[in-house]
A and B are shown apart, each in its own frame.
Chain A
Amino acid sequence: QKEVEQNSGPLSVPEGAIASLNCTYSDRGSQSFFWYRQYSGKSPELIMSIYSNGDKEDGRFTAQLNKASQYVSLLIRDSQPSDSATYLCAGAYNTDKLIFGTGTRLQVFP
């Protein structure tokens, strides 16, 4: 059974702080990882993709992948109240199957 695990939260951080979201996966065969943001009542929105070990930065977001530890993380710098949402981690198996975690709810308070 391929699984992606996340802490459901909520993770509460003050405005301006760094939010750190974590994800582990069970299958070493997974090749690609994604972070989606989902606002309440809305559909998931792709915010980051990462395919190789190390860090990938895009604006205030940094994704980190460690395949040896089967660990993926997302850092959000200078967190804003508008970042409050559920963040879904997903791993890709083969090229056409995404497995999602349950998501971590992030709350950024002013």
Chain B
Amino acid sequence: NAGVTQTPKFRILKIGQSMTLQCAQDMNHNYMYWYRQDPGMGLKLIYYSVGAGITDKGEVPNGYNVSRSTTEDFPLRLELAAPSQTSVYFCASVGAANTGELFFGEGSRLTVL
């Protein structure tokens, strides 16, 4: 049972490059989230989705885009990478009851130089 799978685990980008962080879950969860964690800080919500075709902004959406074409996948797109986007990114999901008891992926560490 894979749970929440994130790829890549590590990536180094140059300023201005673009990339997509992939997230897939196999638990048929309705809700999916992208968080970022900066050193010494808590997790900040970037975007979330309550189901296929529905997405909404979180606390820190600038510089990112998402899509949710299927229940399973929730990719996060970084356009024009900036050093401020250097962070660890976590994807998470939870079922229809939205208990708040999120299942997290292992994280993707992104460095922008």
Q: Do A and B make up one complex?
A: no
